[in-house]
């Protein structure tokens, strides 16, 4: 029998924390929430000042019985749930179930699962913070009222199974609004002139772009204007008029917060927000590392603060000094400024042990865990390194009365870039702008040789559709939601069929557009970004002890009640048009329609329930099977991983995780597969028996 009982949320933490505390402590898990609002009803007594009706979660009986039994025999119970609002609320529910007085100092919290952090927290227990609990209650009750009041209305007027929520409705509206911008966008023509120039007796040549005159920048709007300028300068000398050289610095990006980690994992690893948070949770809770036992590799992953501890900062600086030298650390440690809406409750996301490098722990991690840990580790270390330094040069070059501009840059000192470079949403590869662009040494008065003038026609592009990464960034910038809400919000709008993902792009469905129009017309505040952001500020005020949570609810409901009543009276029945396919149901002869299910789109007979025929949607890869010459199809596993396989499966067993490259094998004529690894890709024949697949003839491409 242990004198002390420590209750955590996740079973994944039990082993790590138990190891640190040793004898005298028993660690048990609540396995998440133990009490919540009932699913079958709203569970909020609006007439009784919004009093929530909590019930024990179904299936948690055995867990609660075990915790009660252990708590009775323990001299002291410590509630060590996650260090956020939700974790505080779980501790409060546990205290109620275990008959622990709220005034007792029973609550412990830590930002990282390390020996020092855990032992330090146990030595400094505190009371349950009811301001944090009330902020969580306010969010839960607010979302429950919105969902349970509006959703039945959508079921009645549109179709069953729909839902409406504060943050998900705003996110859906943002995606719909972007689609409307794209649809209404009118492309404008514009031109550029690129001159390929060279300094006599110096190679290679370089490019200069048309700017205008010495006094103004000129926009090139049509081909006639471009041709007139080209004719005017066809016999002109190209003379260097001005050369400006300077040194530029670029600082490293801040260590990760939840949103930036989700964005970077999407850009660099192709992870969804849900997948990123799942893997980060595993890294935080603890993983068995060879030679070290169970180790929590990163700090808490739900945070909006870039703050880091002085201890971690010094460890990073020591590591950089030993690995790269003194030149790679700045004179004073780097401190990053938080955004104004940041709660600063936790540190940034960082490795708990600097010396556990990604390569050292690689053999103990899954491929996903290694990729994300490497990203977090590299980002944090780089954030404490010196800035990169560039030598830049810009030159104004005249051709008659017109000016062309040439720009060049060269890395003088790589700084943090030796380790990590932040990705960008609008580039297909990392940091195209960091590639060196060398110009020859130019001085005022140099006469240059014209190799070629190239006019190019361009058209303005509509705004880009959101990806998960850019949607998270937009939500964060507008103050909508908090770190814990981004992933579930995106998961919800996808699962409800309001939005679909085409490659990485988020597109609204017809259903999403219909629901969004209803929400915009009848629930203006719910889909208003500013209103939603203000509600987040109200919840923050509750957390800070500045406002009672029931007062926040009363302010909201006093206006919401009237809006809801009016919507019930004015919304008519809405018919959602179905997407009809050209596939004929072989059972009844109707054209099958596209439906959205748990695992994506599928075909169903519109004659349901009389005809229950369904089919998967087949996407052809455009190549023939190297084994039987059947059609090769794109397929997905239940977890969403894409692969290709023969249409004649299971008779034909051909499948591959690699995708067709678009090239044909010069030896046997079958299609080639492309396997990417970093910036390189290996091409191999899809026919396993082809001689070209021998190691000495494998083709490498960049």
- Boundaries of CATH 1.10.290.10 in the chain? 258-384
Q: Which CATH number does 4-128 carry?
A: 3.40.50.140
Tokens encoding 445 = 């008065």
- Boundaries of CATH 3.40.50.140 in the chain? 4-128
DSSP 506: E
Q: Determine the Cα–Cα distance for residues 502 and 466; give it in Å rounded to an integer.
A: 11
Catalytic entry in 300, 373, 390, 557: 300
pLDDT for residue 40: 86
239: closest CA among 195, 192, 201?
195
> Dihedral sign, CA of 637, 641, 645, 647?
positive
pLDDT digits (tens, 9 = 90+) for 477-499: 998 988 888 999 999 999 888 99
To which H or E segment does residue 313 belong? helix 310-324
Q: Which residues contact 331 (CB under 8 A, 6 or more apart)?
A: none
* Residues forming beta bridges with residue 642, ordered by sequence position: 636
Angle between helices 310-324 and 367-383 (to 10 degrees): 90
Q: Determine the Cα–Cα distance for residues 569 and 146; give it in Å rounded to an integer.
A: 18
Helices (H) and strands (E) in the chain, counts: 17, 29
Q: How far is CA 477 from CA 396, 481, 661, in A?
A: 38, 10, 39
pLDDT for residue 12: 85
Angle in degrees, CA 337, 341, 343, rounded to 5: 80
Domain 258-384 annotated CATH 1.20.1250.40 = no
To which H or E segment does residue 509 belong? none
- Boundaries of CATH 2.70.20.10 in the chain? 189-251+389-415+434-459
To which H or E segment does residue 211 belong? strand 206-213
Q: Determine the Cα–Cα distance for residues 305 and 346; give it in Å rounded to an integer.
A: 6
Q: Are 274 and 493 in contact (CB under 8 A)?
A: no
Tokens encoding 380 = 């944090």
238 classed as catalytic: no
* Residues forming beta bridges with residue 677, ordered by sequence position: 680
For domain 138-184+464-570, the CATH architecture is: Orthogonal Bundle (1.10)
499: closest CA among 514, 488, 512?
512
- Boundaries of CATH 1.10.460.10 in the chain? 138-184+464-570
Regions in the chain scoring below 70 on pLDDT: 1, 339-345, 425-436, 596-600, 639-640, 676-681, 695-702
pTM for the full predicted model: 0.80
Q: Determine the Cα–Cα distance for residues 578 and 583; give it in Å rounded to an integer.
A: 14
Domain 189-251+389-415+434-459 annotated CATH 2.70.20.10 = yes
pLDDT for residue 434: 43
């Amino acid at each position: 029998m242990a004198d002390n009982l420590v209750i955590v949320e996740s079973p994944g933490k039990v082993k790590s924390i138990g190891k640190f505390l040793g004898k005298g402590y028993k660690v048990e898990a609540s396995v998440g929430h133990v009490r919540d609002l009932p699913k079958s009803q709203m569970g909020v007594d609006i007439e009784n000042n919004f009093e929530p009706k909590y019930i024990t979660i179904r299936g948690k009986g055995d867990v609660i019985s075990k915790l009660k039994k252990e708590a009775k025999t323990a001299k002291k119970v410590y509630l060590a749930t996650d260090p956020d609002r939700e974790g505080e609320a779980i501790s409060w529910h546990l205290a109620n179930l275990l008959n622990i007085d709220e005034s007792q100092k029973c609550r412990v919290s830590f930002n990282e699962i390390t020996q020092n952090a855990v032992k330090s927290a146990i030595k400094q227990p505190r009371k349950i913070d009811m301001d944090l609990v009330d902020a969580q209650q306010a969010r839960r009750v607010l979302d429950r009222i919105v969902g349970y009041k509006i959703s039945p209305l959508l079921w009645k007027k549109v179709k069953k199974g729909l839902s409406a929520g504060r943050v998900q409705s705003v996110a859906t509206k943002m995606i719909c609004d972007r689609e409307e911008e794209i649809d209404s966008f009118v492309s404008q023509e514009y031109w550029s002139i690129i001159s390929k120039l060279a300094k006599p007796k110096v190679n290679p040549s370089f490019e200069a772009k048309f700017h205008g005159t010495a006094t103004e920048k000129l926009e090139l709007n049509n081909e006639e204007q471009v041709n007139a300028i080209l004719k005017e300068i066809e016999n002109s000398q190209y003379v260097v008029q001005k050369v400006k050289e300077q040194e530029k610095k670029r600082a490293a990006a801040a260590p990760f917060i939840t949103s930036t980690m989700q964005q970077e994992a999407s850009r660099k690893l192709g992870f969804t927000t849900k997948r990123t948070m799942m893997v980060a949770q595993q890294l935080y809770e603890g993983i068995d590392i060879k030679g070290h036992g169970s180790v929590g590799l990163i700090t808490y992953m739900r945070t909006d603060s870039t703050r880091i501890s002085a201890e971690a900062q010094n460890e990073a600086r020591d590591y950089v000094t030993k690995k790269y030298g003194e030149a790679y650390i700045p004179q004073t440690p780097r401190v990053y400024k938080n955004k104004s809406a940041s709660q600063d409750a936790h540190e940034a996301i960082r490795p708990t042990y600097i010396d556990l490098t990604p390569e050292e722990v690689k053999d103990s991690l899954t491929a996903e865990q290694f990729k994300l840990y490497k990203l977090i580790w590299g980002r944090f270390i780089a954030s404490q390194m010196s800035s990169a330094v560039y030598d830049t040069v810009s030159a104004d070059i005249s051709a008659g009365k017109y000016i062309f501009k040439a720009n060049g840059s060269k890395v003088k000192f790589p700084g943090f870039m030796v380790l990590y470079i932040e990705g960008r949403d609008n580039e297909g590869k990392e940091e195209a702008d960091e590639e060196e662009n060398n110009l020859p040494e130019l001085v005022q008065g140099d006469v240059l040789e014209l190799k070629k003038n190239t006019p190019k026609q361009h058209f303005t592009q509509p705004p880009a559709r959101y990806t998960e990464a850019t949607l998270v960034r937009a939500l964060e910038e507008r103050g909508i939601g908090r770190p814990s809400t981004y992933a579930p919000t995106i998961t919800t709008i996808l699962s409800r069929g309001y939005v679909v993902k085409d490659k990485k792009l988020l597109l609204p469905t017809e259903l999403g557009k219909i629901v969004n129009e209803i929400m915009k017309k009848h629930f203006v505040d719910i889909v208003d970004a500013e209103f939603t952001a203000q509600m987040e500020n109200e919840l923050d005020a509750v957390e800070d002890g500045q406002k009672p949570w029931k007062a926040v609810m009363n302010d909201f409901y006093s206006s919401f009640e009237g809006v809801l009543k009016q919507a019930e009276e004015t919304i008519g029945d809405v018919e959602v048009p179905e997407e009809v396919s050209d596939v004929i149901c072989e059972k009844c002869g109707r054209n099958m329609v596209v439906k959205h299910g748990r695992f994506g789109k599928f075909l169903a007979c519109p004659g349901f329930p009389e005809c229950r025929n369904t089919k998967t949607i087949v996407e052809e890869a455009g190549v023939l099977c190297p084994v039987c010459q059947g059609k090769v199809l794109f397929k997905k596993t239940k977890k969403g991983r894409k692969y290709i396989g023969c249409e004649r499966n299971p008779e034909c067993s051909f499948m591959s995780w690699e995708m067709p490259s678009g090239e044909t094998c010069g030896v046997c004529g079958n299609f080639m597969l492309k396997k990417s690894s970093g910036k390189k890709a290996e091409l191999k024949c899809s026919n396993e028996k082809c001689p070209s697949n021998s190691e000495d003839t494998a083709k490498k491409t960049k």
